[in-house]
Structure 1
Amino acid sequence: MVALLGSSGGLPSLLEPDPNIRLPHAGMMVTMDTTPPGHALVEAGWQKVRDDGRVRPELLEAAYAEPRLRQLFPWTGMGELHFSRCTEWPWAWDIPYIQPAAEGEYWVSGPLRSESVGPAATAQQAVTMVVDRLPPKCGPALVGTREELAAHDVAILPANPETTGTNRSTS
């Protein structure tokens, strides 16, 4: 950083440092915060799911241990563990969810309630089944609603050549 005006009050000087700017001391590391914007909201969601007690602890542990699921917003319904790519209700319904089944087993369904993936003998197996079916470019949960997520997806996903038409340039 440099002063905008030289000591003579004339043209800016590129050689005179601004005495109001403090630089880190030698040996001090400067780091950027690369934490996704919704990280605190997602973590609070995981804590809320843990606290409400409706999901089996071994399922929560297996899902949270998987980095691709840990970055999504969790929510529960009827003992099911759901994952959303956005942090606010209404949540996105584009990821399969895990239901409790008899004798400690699980059933993976979805993303829609009318869709079934199949049975899983263990929590880890159920988690793997969900991860294998994550949407393309599934990243950290977006802070916002599913409508905002849909707008975000349209803005960042490349256009599909089949839907954008043919090249209309003339030669």
Structure 2
Amino acid sequence: MTNNGTPQDAADIVAAEWQSILAYDEDLIDPVVPRTAYANPRLRGLFPMVSHGTLYLSRCTRFPWTDDIGTMRKLVVGGYRVRRESDKTVLGETETVQEAIDLIAANLPEGCGPAIDGTADDL
């Protein structure tokens, strides 16, 4: 809800969460990860979350969130592994953050658009 009691639309909720995450300290997430994801227009419309240094994206703004969008984890040997949580599919391994973000965007679920204000059950 906004201060005047009217509901925010999904785009406002998503934009506010992105601004929060983009301001996070390095100890929460490598800043290049959310910046690179935010630069992608399709990913920018999704609801972002951070846990244990990993950026998660959801097609909805409320719990339970979707888990069908790839996430990336830094590999000890360098590079990143991109994996979709919903079915545990490894989408690939990349050398750079940009390549990992591009791989996530290329593997968005069919019909994936901006996040809705609701839960995964509302999709």
User: 2: CA distance between counterparts of 1:127 and 1:73?
Assistant: 15
Q: Is the 8 A contact 1:73 1:87 kept in 2?
A: yes
Amino acid at match of 1:116: V
Secondary structure at 1:125's aligned position in 2?
helix
What are the Cα deviations for residues 93-125 of structure 1, in whole angstroms up to 9, with x where unaligned?
111112223366322111337322222111110
Matched, 1:120 2:94: yes
Which of 70, 79, 91 is the equivalent residue of 1:105? 79
Where do residues 92-171 of structure 1 align in structure 2 (5 Å cutoff)? 92-102=66-76, 105-112=79-86, 114-149=88-123
TM-score, length-scaled by structure 2: 0.82
Query: Unaligned 5+ residue runs, structure 1?
Result: 1-36, 150-171
What are the Cα deviations for residues 55-111 of structure 1, in whole angstroms up to 9, with x where unaligned?
211111110000000000011122111110000111111111122233663221113
Q: Is the 8 A contact 1:80 1:100 kept in 2?
A: no
Where do residues 47-126 of structure 1 align in structure 2 (5 Å cutoff)? 47-53=19-25, 54-102=28-76, 105-112=79-86, 114-126=88-100
CA RMSD of aligned residues (A): 1.7
Amino acid at match of 1:74: P
Q: Is the 8 A contact 1:88 1:144 kept in 2?
A: yes
User: 2: CA distance between counterparts of 1:148 and 1:112?
Assistant: 17
Calculate percent identity across the aligned residue pairs.
Answer: 36
Partner of 1:44: 16
Q: Is the 8 A contact 2:24 2:31 kept in 1?
A: no
Query: Unaligned 5+ residue runs, structure 2?
Result: 1-8
Indicate the structure whose relative CO is greater, using CA pairs within 8 Å and at least 6 residues apart. Answer: 2
TM-score, length-scaled by structure 1: 0.60
